[in-house]
Amino acid sequence: MPKGFKLIIKKEFLLFVVLSGLILMGGFFALTSGPWFIAVTDVFKIVMYKLGLFSGSINNVETTIVWDGRLPRFIVGVLVGFSLGAAGTIMQGLFKNPMASPGVIGIDSGAALGAVVVIYLGLAAKSLFALPLSAIVFSILTLIMVFTIATSRGQTSISTLLLAGIAFNFIFSALTSFVITLSTREFDVGRVIVTWLMGDLNNRSWEHVGIVFPTTLIALVGTLFFVKDLNILMLGEETAANLGVNIRLARNALLFFSSVETGGAIAVSGVIGFVGLVAPHIMRSLIGPDNKKLIFFAGLLAAVFVIYADLFVRLIVKVDLKIGIVTSLLGGPFFLYLIIKHKKRFEYM
């Protein structure tokens, strides 16, 4: 085996160990720390008891805190982060742009509008699945509308796709603001909407895990079928066509799976910005552009970001700060850095 290949494998294995270790350490703090400290041995007993692997006595209050509160919140954070990181990787690969993310073509704002409408109409209070279903449907409808505008005679223009996405971002943001304005007449509804738009993992349950886990799994498995095509598409559409790639099918499928991941994540956590932008960019600089590996590693890094942002707002700050605010405060400057770094590549008209 060539020495360089061994070094690559060793580097990837080390990255996997580090990222997995960070996630496990985040889980340790997430499950043991808080207003009610619970020893790690008790956490282990509770989990084993719930899995039917331990028959000893456990504290019922601590069981409720860990099993019904902290554990599902942690798992939702991992799945949301992984989904956003994977979706961002797909977008950056398709658009061949390190500044691309699901928000670029309006998927984020479409999902947010769908969720806000359901909250305002009171449907979210009647059914736990109304909000995620609306968010996913709106994200997919957004994708369809953007593609319809950008496609002519069977050909989809990437530049038109991006411009249409920007336009829908403005439209959906305005409609979301309009719904918020209407909701101010009912304080509780308005507060829920505003809190949700900031991104939050408070009061997440196993039902939320049941919502985001299928969308994450389905999108990941579906993406794996087209990840080779994604790598080839990054070389250019002409090259991809010459190599036998069905460009239209691959691009539409990848954008669909990205929409499902984004909609599922936003449905259970609200809007958590910049995670899908930052994680793929950092990982690409560490392991290269091969999306077969990049999607997985960027998802793990994004999960780390969400987990520790949640720990920060839950354990360190003394005010009711939201995860979306933290990620935006960190991601905004990083986005400016990318603009400055890549500004020489931009074309001016």
Task: Please give the Cα distance from 291 to 94 (Å, whole number).
Answer: 11
pLDDT value of residue 332: 75
Per-residue pLDDT tens over the stretch 139-162: 888 888 887 887 777 666 767 777
For residues 2-34, b (16+ Cβ closer than 10 Å) or e, as one string? eeeeeeeeeebeebeeebeebbeebbebbbbee
Q: Report the DSSP pairing between strands 155-156 and 151-152.
A: antiparallel
What is the 3 state secondary structure string of 278-316? HHHHHHHHHHCCCHHHHHHHHHHHHHHHHHHHHHHHHHH
Q: Tell me the backbone φ, ψ of residue 156, rounded to 5 degrees.
A: -105, 125
What mean pLDDT do residues 12-29 have?
93
Task: Please give the Cα distance from 44 to 63 (Å, whole number).
Answer: 11
Where are the chain's structural domains? 73-345
Task: Please give the Cα distance from 221 to 6 (Å, whole number).
Answer: 28
What mean pLDDT do residues 242-263 have?
87
Lowest mean pLDDT among 21-35, 73-87, 229-243: 229-243
Domain 73-345 sits in CATH at 1.10.3470.10
The pTM (predicted TM-score) of the whole model is: 0.88
Sign, Cα dihedral of 284, 101, 330, 24: negative
pLDDT value of residue 344: 53
Residue 4 binned pLDDT confidence (cut-offs 50, 70, 90):
low
pLDDT value of residue 348: 39
Task: Please give the Cα distance from 315 to 215 (Å, whole number).
Answer: 29
Tell me the sheet residues that pair with 156: 151
